[in-house]
Chain A
Amino acid sequence: MPWRSPLALLRDAVRGIGERQKDLRVLVSNLPYSELDAGGRPNRFFPGNAYTPLLFLPVNLYEQFHRWANVYFVGLAVLNFVPVVNAFQPEVALIPICVILALTALKDGWEDFQRYKSDRKVNGTPCLVYRRPDKRFVASRWMDVKVGDFVSMGSNEIVPADLLLLHTSDPHGVCLIETSNLDGETNLKQRRVVSNLGSPTSEFDPENFHCLVVCERPNNNLNHFKCYVEKPDKEKVGVGIESLLLRGCKVRNTEHVVGFVVYAGRETKSMLNNSGPRYKRSRLERALNRDVLFCVVLLFAMCLVGAVGHFIWLSSLPSIPPYLVPDSQGYLESPSLSAFYMFFTMIILLQVLIPISLYVSIELVKIAQVFFITNDVDLYDEDCDGRVQCRALNITEDLGQVEYVFSDKTGTLTENKMVFRRCTVMGTEYAHKENAIRLAVIDEPDSDEEVLFHQRPRQGRQPGWTLDLEESGSEAAQPPRAGGHRSKVAGCAEGDVAFSSPLEKEVVPDKALLQQIVKIDYSSGKRMVDPYLDFFLALAICNTVVVSTATAQRQRVSQLPGASLSSGPLDTLSSLAKKVGSLRQTLASWQPMSRRGSLASEGSAADDESDKTSDRDRGAGAPKGPRPAGRSDELLFEAESPDEAALVYAAKAYGFTLLARTPASVTVRLPRGETLVLEVLDTLSFDANRKRMSVLVRHPVTRQLVLYTKGADYTIMELLGTPYAEQLKGNQKSVAANCQTHVDQYAKEGLRTLCFTKKLVSEKEYSDWSTLRREAMAAMDNREEFIRDSAVHLERDLTLLGATGIEDRLQESVPDTIVALREAGIQVWVLTGDKPETAVNIAYACRLLDEGDMVINMSSKDKLTCTSMLDCTLEAVRRYPRGPNGMVTDPTIALVIDGRTLGMVLESDLQAHFVELAQRCRSVLCCRVTPLQKSAVVKVIRDRLKVMTLAIGDGANDVNMIQAADVGIGISGQEGMQAVMASDFAICRFKHLRKLLLVHGHWCYTRLANMIVYFFYKNVAYVNLLFWYQFFCGFSGTAMIDYWLLIFFNLFYTSIPPIMFGIMDRDVSAETLLGLPELYRTGQGTGEYKASFFWVSILDAFYQSLVCFFIPYWTYQGSDIDVFTFGTPLNTVSLFTILLHLSIEIKAWTVVHLVVILGSVMVFFLTILAYNAFCVTCNPPSNPYWILQNQMADPTFHLVCLLTTVAALLPRYTFHVLRNTIDPSPLVRARKLERLDADVRQQWIEEWRSMRGGGAGGGGGGGGGGGGGGDAVGGGESGRSASPVHILDPSPFPPSRSDTHV
């Protein structure tokens, strides 16, 4: 969040009116002015205000002084320059703040340098810019591109700035781009030349461009762009995002493109979107600030004691003793004035109590923690070749405290790889049993396949190729496994091509449906209006799928811009390798398909003929295809949404192959081989409000205008008008009813449903509508609304064709992860836009719901029923006993609530009740929620319950939720990068959440919490030594330790061990943490960083400081020891105590620990010995010449050190031992477990896990809630669920299930 000063806000408010007019920006071509050098904004990342090496220091210092902690310390240092109060030499007091500022500056400088390096690389990327003197496009660099320039690009080049597309080599004025650099979407998107700017085919000459481009101010919305081009004849042409090439996109499949720069450099949409890492404050840090505040209070109290003590001491003196030094005039200050000064002196003396070095240490520790998280091999995903990204650098420890997880469903729990499962056409259901079997087979193999996959890369490419051929031979023997294996490998092989794994491509046609098509094909006279034909046509064309062929196959986009521009030998090699891969993949996808076709025909001889037909159809398709390339199977369908691709593949399986799509037409090959070119008159694209999309085409044969619409069943069903074609009058009514029944059934099975309709549009209707449409398109304000309205205008009186059910498969190990999270005491909520039935089924499948759960279904139409329902339910639920974190554990309760009801219960009057109810539920499922509701739910829970919330999602609709939660996690998956951009952490798969939370979260949290507590302890323990001494020096602010050592003690001698402790301590191993998720509970709530923990540590610090002071005090009492000789054992003892205290806290000693701790002691002695050997007259008053040497020759010194250290640590050590023995925490028990023999431990964990996991049958079977309106049912008998099993309990509850559902 950029911070804005109130002044700036005020200024903006005053200027508001003027600013609004400036919302528009008028641009003209630079060319007429190019001699004047009046160019527009340059295209650099950091125009002007970059950190130059010279400016770095002042700028950085300025930024650092925005932190109040730094200001405080500089204030202290300044205070030290005031003679009456100074405690140290003024210069000495500057050391700590300087070291801290320097460290921070170093860190910032390094980050800036990295940024600078990457900027320079980007800025220097070559591109072609039109220059008037040369009358052509001249090679230039990105940084030289200015607003108003004309840029030319070829295929596969990266767009250097936001360009208005003016010309392409494509005759239709279309250009394809890939936006994966921007949003991760790998499908091709179509951009059009700004229309009506002269004929698109003629050669474009920038010098003839005399239009005025009026566009909105730069903003970060990647999906919107408002602009119009005013031609010299004052005609305005509206331009939207469809004509804008965004910086960072890649031009594809288009030879040549010319664009006009509208935004450059920082103003480009992609740059405005990239806000860089975000800074959030973790909960631990907030707690930390509270304790820092306590330290301030403590400091003031101690200073006050010092001041008052000084006053009393001075007042009690009968007259002036020789050791009181008068001022230069020979007068002594009055006791009260001295006491007043003494207060400030004490602040300086005891300043270390406020741990500034703590803030720096925390930052260092977090950097290291982020390093370890991002380097975890287990969080690396092969498919997307990505590790976990930590985008917010400073909330790592929040991962260890999560209590509520809010998850999106699609793309998060599921693959978002859609597979066509079944369909219903004209009220008849086609179950696609073979298809289901195929999918089930793919589900099955898991472990052995993994092994295979991992082994492969090790073999050389050539051998791999031949080996594969052999394998396919052997695989024929066991088709089921082979199929699964193939899909997986091939899926990995072409991770760069979206939605095209064989899993999605292969659809085994339903025989009955196939027969239906074949029959109609041959028998029907008016074949072009057959409903089945229409259904599949709709499937094939009612979408925005772009077809690309293998010849134009895209390269994987390299992450580095410009890398693809160089085409070295390496490039060629890799592309060659890719070809081999694609060839293999083709082979892989082709073989099993035909094989399975024959398999099916064996199984059911009855449909032999049709089956053959289908085989013939598909087989024949290839040679007969219109493309000379011949292999129709190499068609790749690239869709914006995976559903679309799945449907197109499904249509293809039935012979309706989408061959090409241009803005004006679609080409479809029909089952018998003829191609049909339909003229596309308009595409009414999908939006979230309408929840449907339509394509308006002109049928080439009948010349009729046909509108194909597809959409969610509930929106479509309302729009149904006249029933379908005349010949079906008999059963017209039942079509809709049957279809609805089927759709509901699909939803219950967890399928995503889409309804397809058709509408014949009369010419008149169309011409009326098209004027409306054109007006809407040209509108500048509220254009989206106008366009939506125009779409709604046409989409009515639809005729239902049928519906499809698409399966969105669960991601790998989602059930395991959810079970683990739950055992970790985390409540998992799923928020989805899907129907309740679908959601409930997915929930069973991913074990969010168990058979034993009591499912409460909340769905009501009005507020009144909603209120009473909520109250009744709550009343019922309150009767059950609650577990430790407020959850009802026996029986476990699950809540299913729909969007409308959710909206009602989130209103302020019902909120409290809802939250109370939700708190008692083990899992909550919110269906049909909007993005805004998602974030509202998160906010309500977070604020009401004061719990740590985590939101995880992958799509743009999850962005709100991700931002609202304490921890936002984005899944970089199929749906673009918006979620990742908004997130704090980005992972590739849902299953990674498990290790991220259970292991890294736990570690980060415990490490940091322990380190912080230790830091406080350390400072209090050390500073108190000085404080106790004040009682024996007349509260005069004397330090008995050399000032340098005093400062260095905190800065050098005892700072690295705790940092290392914060980075590397490992209380329990990763395996155990994953094996016993309930260990995670130790971090929840306030976790280890409890107030009591803090206070115990502070008390211990007081005790230790007393011991460390008074044992030497009594030892040397009455002797002739001098001040700094007395301070030496105190300092030494403190070092030992503090380091050994840490050693008690360290749970796992590695070489690093040993080196750091021993190193610290060594450095301490060596530097002090050296210092004491050379400092003869330096640093008065201590002049510590030969002091340590002297002391080390004295046996008393050693005796004192030994005794004091042992006495100081004895209580803590004993406390730890006794607690670990009498009442060990779960963590300690887990550590004990780790000490067991590896096999025994593994066996133990396995045993425990198998007992717990036994209850999970995979779910899916039992249906969920009834879904009717206004029924709240608290239901059923309880089933014992796996209640928290205590570790070390030899007999966990046997898994029991009872088939209870509402």
Chain B
Amino acid sequence: MSKEVGTENRPDNTAFTQQRLPAWQPMLSAGIVIPGFVLIGLAFIGIGVALFVTSRNIQVLERDYTGVERDSFCYGCSDLKVKNCKCNLNFTLDKLFEGPVFFYYGLSNYFQNYRQYGNSKDANQLSGDKEYFTEPDESCAPYERVGDVPIAPCGALPNSMFNDTFKLYQMVNGTRVEVPFDGKGISWWTDYNIKYRNPPGTPLSKAFEGTTNPPFWPRPAYELDTTDPSNNGFINQDFLVWMRRAALPDFRKLYRRITEGEYAKGLPAGKYTLVIGYNYPVRAFNGKKKVVFSNVSWMGGKNKFLGIAYLVIGSMCVVMSIVMLIVYAKFKFPDEE
């Protein structure tokens, strides 16, 4: 037989080249997806209920202390001319505020996510690289140097660090008892231990030699926390919290936790006074400042939205499955029997 005429051009007859790979062809028709919808719907409703209940159990106490309004307890402090202004926030707890209590400060209309602002820092300097102490990155401009002296930490982001101070007192029998604040571990573990490093050298002031503090800062970086020498420089907890820029213009940041002594179980019912050292100006951008006491659950802070959203989507799935049931009954295919 004359096969030499040639079949050398004959293509390979494989499943792949002939596009005959075994395939699963799901058909999206009502009859098949109804169970899926019901399942998803029910699961979502379950999750939603759980989230909603969890969220409801979280206690939150929020107070605005911007002080722009005349009746506000911090009225007057918002004026930039007043230095070292202090104002007292008095509040009463009717029942135990369960611990551990997290104490936040909040800013609104503050755009920490502004592009140039976010860029205005020097990651290498902050990681303790000495080279960048003498030559800060130009991304820090114009907070790069004062005169010829480089700034450490340079940039607008460190420069604008939040500097209000808070002290909480409980009124016990007419006397003010200070509620101890725990400032440790409020920042990310990785920030404190890996990402941010102080420059080598002891004492810290020596390491920062030849640099100056950011212009808005009253003190150099190595004197941020006078009470705790290990909480200074670039690994100051408040600084680290500030450096983690908020994603949205209305945000809160963790200031302290109340975990010590008799307050470890929470704030008991009673009268409290929060003494606020009002330093940070917010009127320039129509901002608001607030303080927040909150306890947390497994899913973080109070958030009604997620639970409700789960419930809504879950119910929608269920409704949809009912609709599809009707549709299926009406438009059933003869071949699906």
- Chain A residues near B (Cβ < 8 Å): 87, 317-330, 345, 371-372, 374-377, 380, 382, 385-387, 456-457, 459, 461, 464-465, 468, 492-496, 556, 574, 577-578, 580-581, 584, 1003, 1032-1034, 1036-1038, 1040, 1064, 1066, 1070, 1111, 1113-1123, 1125-1127, 1144, 1147-1152, 1176-1177, 1180-1181, 1183, 1185-1186, 1190, 1194-1196, 1199-1200, 1203, 1206-1207, 1210, 1213-1214, 1216-1218, 1220-1222, 1224, 1228, 1231-1236, 1288
Query: With A and B bound together, what is the CA distance between A1040 and B246 in angstroms?
Result: 11
Q: Which residues of B contact A574 (CB under 8 A)?
A: 4
- Complex contact A1214–B5 (CB within 8 A): no
Q: Closest chain B residue to A321 by CB distance?
A: B285
Q: Closest chain A residue to B320 by CB distance?
A: A1214
Q: Which residues of B contact A464 (CB under 8 A)?
A: 1
Give the contacting residue for A1121; candidates B118, B247, B284; CB below 8 A: B247
Interface flag for B119 (CB, 8 Å) = yes
- Complex contact B194–A1185 (CB within 8 A): yes
Shortest CB–CB separation between residue A612 and chain B, in angstroms? 35
Query: With A and B bound together, what is the CA distance between A1149 and B21 in angstroms?
Result: 9
Q: Which residues of B contact A327 (CB under 8 A)?
A: 141-142
- Complex contact B335–A387 (CB within 8 A): no
A1066-B19 in contact given A377-B13, A1177-B127 (Cβ < 8 Å): yes
- Complex contact B313–A372 (CB within 8 A): no
Give the contacting residue for A1199; candidates B26, B51, B249, B328; CB below 8 A: B51
- Complex contact A1036–B300 (CB within 8 A): no
- Complex contact A456–B1 (CB within 8 A): yes
- Complex contact B247–A1116 (CB within 8 A): yes
- Complex contact B247–A1123 (CB within 8 A): yes
A377-B11 in contact given A321-B284, A1150-B23, A1181-B118 (Cβ < 8 Å): yes
Interface flag for B9 (CB, 8 Å) = yes
Shortest CB–CB separation between residue A708 and chain B, in angstroms? 37
From B90-98, B108-116, B176-184, B223-231, the one touching the partner chain is B108-116
A1151-B21 in contact given A385-B5, A1176-B127 (Cβ < 8 Å): yes
- Complex contact A493–B2 (CB within 8 A): yes
**Can you give 8 A-B contacts (C-beta < 8 A)?**
A321-B111, A323-B156, A1117-B305, A1118-B106, A1122-B244, A1183-B195, A1190-B188, A1235-B27
Interface flag for B88 (CB, 8 Å) = no
- Complex contact B141–A1033 (CB within 8 A): no
Known: A1118-B106, A1222-B327. 8 other contacts (CB 8 A): A385-B5, A493-B5, A1120-B254, A1123-B112, A1123-B246, A1152-B21, A1190-B188, A1220-B29
- Chain B residues near A (Cβ < 8 Å): 1-13, 17-19, 21-31, 33, 40, 44, 47, 51, 104, 106, 110-124, 126-127, 138-139, 141-142, 144, 156, 159-160, 188, 190, 194-195, 216, 241, 244-254, 281, 283-287, 298-301, 303, 305-306, 309-310, 313, 316-317, 320, 324, 327-328, 331, 333-336
Q: Most chain-B Cβ atoms within 10 A of its Cβ — which of A324, A461, A1195?
A: A324
Give the contacting residue for A1115; candidates B5, B126, B138, B306; CB below 8 A: B306
Q: Which residues of B contact A584 (CB under 8 A)?
A: 2
- Complex contact A496–B29 (CB within 8 A): no
Give the contacting residue for B11; candidates A320, A387, A1114; CB below 8 A: A387
Q: Closest chain B residue to A456 by CB distance?
A: B1
Q: Most chain-B Cβ atoms within 10 A of its Cβ — which of A322, A581, A1144?
A: A322
Query: With A and B bound together, what is the CA distance between A401 and B224 in angstroms?
Result: 73
- Complex contact B18–A375 (CB within 8 A): yes
- Complex contact B313–A1210 (CB within 8 A): yes
Q: Which residues of B contact A1217 (CB under 8 A)?
A: 28-30, 33, 324
Q: Closest chain B residue to A320 by CB distance?
A: B284
Query: With A and B bound together, what is the CA distance between A324 and B33 in angstroms?
Result: 52
Q: Most chain-B Cβ atoms within 10 A of its Cβ — which of A1066, A1114, A1181, A1194?
A: A1181
A322-B19 in contact given A385-B7, A385-B8, A1038-B115 (Cβ < 8 Å): no
- Complex contact A326–B285 (CB within 8 A): no
- Complex contact A1122–B114 (CB within 8 A): no
Shortest CB–CB separation between residue A663 and chain B, in angstroms? 32
Q: Which residues of B contact A319 (CB under 8 A)?
A: 283-285
- Complex contact A1221–B8 (CB within 8 A): no
A581-B2 in contact given A325-B117, A1217-B33 (Cβ < 8 Å): yes
Shortest CB–CB separation between residue A1154 and chain B, in angstroms? 9
Q: Which residues of B contact A1288 (CB under 8 A)?
A: 334-335
- Complex contact B194–A577 (CB within 8 A): no
- Complex contact B331–A1221 (CB within 8 A): yes
Query: With A and B bound together, what is the CA distance between A1220 and B32 in angstroms?
Result: 11
Q: Which residues of B contact A1111 (CB under 8 A)?
A: 309
- Complex contact B21–A1177 (CB within 8 A): no
- Complex contact A385–B9 (CB within 8 A): yes
Q: Which residues of A contact B160 (CB under 8 A)?
A: 322-323
Query: With A and B bound together, what is the CA distance between A1206 and B245 in angstroms?
Result: 30
The 4 nearest A-B residue pairs measured at CB? A1126-B247, A321-B285, A322-B160, A581-B2
Q: Which residues of B contact A382 (CB under 8 A)?
A: 7
A1150-B22 in contact given A321-B110, A457-B3, A1206-B313 (Cβ < 8 Å): yes
Q: Which residues of B contact A1176 (CB under 8 A)?
A: 127, 194-195
Query: With A and B bound together, what is the CA distance between A1149 and B24 in angstroms?
Result: 5
Q: Which residues of B contact A1125 (CB under 8 A)?
A: 247
Shortest CB–CB separation between residue A1206 and chain B, in angstroms? 6
- Complex contact A459–B1 (CB within 8 A): yes
- Complex contact B331–A1222 (CB within 8 A): yes
- Complex contact B11–A1221 (CB within 8 A): no
- Complex contact B142–A330 (CB within 8 A): yes
- Complex contact B114–A1038 (CB within 8 A): yes
Q: Which residues of B contact A1203 (CB under 8 A)?
A: 44, 306, 309-310, 313
